[in-house]
Amino acid sequence: MSAAAPVGLAERAAERRARVRALLGPRGVVLLGAAPPPRAGADTELRYLADSELFYLSGCQEPQSVLVLSGSSEQPACTLFVRGRDPAEELWTGPRPSVAEARAAYGADVAYPGSELAARLPALLEPADQLYYRLGADAALDALVRKELTDARRRRPRSGQGIHTISDPGRLLDELRLRKDADEVARIRAACALTVAAFRDLRDVLRPGAGEWEIEAALEAGFRKRGASGPAFPTIVGSGAHATVLHYSENRSPVQAGELVLVDGGARADMYCADVTRCYSATGRCSPAQRALHDVVRRAHDAGIAAAVPGAEVAGIHAAAVRVLVEGLLDLRLLQGDPAALVADQDSYRRFFPHRTSHWLGLDVHDVGAYVVDGAPRVLEPGMVLTVEPGLYLSVTDPDVPPEFRGIGIRLEDDVLVTASGPEVLTATLPIDPAALFD
């Protein structure tokens, strides 16, 4: 792997570290570790995905890296441990940055080989009273932290120093990551643009008889050929009743004539994610039942996006979509009763719409950030990015659903940036009509 960080990323990371250090205080330390490359079996190394938190504070995407961010004036502000050069290993897995190259590329004050971590970590943690570390992320690093905690407990009574509290790094980082800076917005825009362009490629493969796997392959090839590192999550291609399975990802059946095909995918570009869902007719024509359900979900989708304005509660996006879905289900006689009572009674509609309408989007496809703060729904602010994705899923075996509606699953999803002037749909150029690929 090259140690060259994207232009401007090192500077952005330094700004973020400064903001975190201001929150740490003189006796706080953040310890972030990146896992080793994943493996299948004894010796098959799988594609590596960098740790989001470590990347956010450094730009580093090297496996097994460790970042120590200290609030103490007695310690380097940012210490980085990396694997360093290993010609024998690099023959198999490609070039690595040297320790000096990594220090320069990622803006660390000091850097060391990962082999020195166990010897140097105690001194780096010695001034700390509060350690921000995610237990369970890496067994080897966990063992070092537990040893330091045990040693601190023994020496604290006489020295007055040593770790007293371990907290999740998200207590410091989640709120920062939730509000995207200009660089992050640009990277998410790029991921969205790649995703939209790749979805348009499906016109060449989506037809009766095509394998769900062919559609998956075409979409992900579209991501890669435009510069993405790959999909942000396992691509969902659900034809017919498979679309009623929320996270269906087997993608192993041929598309039948008359079926709708739900495609949920997104590119990861420069570490940032997109997430889009469309439902397409394999022939360009829909049955009346398919069209009616799609129209209901489309109205709910539009209502949810309209609710994504600064100063509004994030829960209001879901509420707006649910109201429209319930009204549509009543019109189609799939629900009966008073609209307000049905909205209030979640069990009434959750058999058709069991998930929430939005999630945060960024370095992770389900990005960090609380939806409830101090017992109240989060209020939206400019710079937040989230999905809007209502859906309806009618089981093929539900005897209470008229036969023409059974086995239809529809979800429509776009990525939305909250701005001072309202919602900006970052994926708006992708047509949403089920016959769009044939227009």
Residues designated catalytic: 43, 247, 264, 275, 355, 359, 366, 389, 393, 411, 413
Closest CA to 294 of 317, 278, 275: 278
Closest CA to 408 of 249, 242, 246: 242
DSSP structural state of residue 2: -
Closest CA to 216 of 253, 179, 183: 253
Q: Do the beta carbons of residue 225 and residue 237 sit within 8 Å?
A: no
Query: Residue 387: is it exposed, middle or buried by C-beta count within 10 angstroms (0-12/13-18/19+)?
Result: buried
Q: Is 220 left (phi over 0), alpha (psi -120 to 50) or beta?
A: alpha
Angle, in degrees to the nearest 10, between helices 9-24 and 99-106: 80
Close Cβ partners of 5 (under 8 Å, ≥ 6 residues apart): 13, 59, 60, 105, 106
Q: Do the beta carbons of residue 275 and residue 412 sit within 8 Å?
A: no
For 240, phi and psi rounded to 5 degrees? Answer: 55, -130
Query: Residue 165: is it exposed, middle or buried by C-beta count within 10 angstroms (0-12/13-18/19+)?
Result: exposed
**DSSP β-ladder status, 391-394 and 385-388:** unpaired
Structure tokens at 313: 């509660």
Structure tokens at 337: 């009763």
Q: Output the CA–CA distances (angstroms, integers) from residue 231 to 98, 118, 183, in the order listed.
A: 29, 35, 21
Angle, in degrees to the nearest 10, between helices 182-200 and 212-225: 140
Structure tokens at 246: 């929320």
